[in-house]
Amino acid sequence: MTNLFVRSGISFVDRSEVLTHIGNEMLAKGVVHDTWPQALIAR
Which pLDDT belongs to residue 36? 80
Q: Tell me, what DSSP letter sits at residue 8? A: T
Contact 2, 14 (CB under 8 A): yes
Burial environment of residue 12 by CB neighbours within 10 A (0 to 12, 13 to 18, 19 or more): middle
Regions of the chain where pLDDT drops below 70:
1-6
Which pLDDT belongs to residue 29? 92
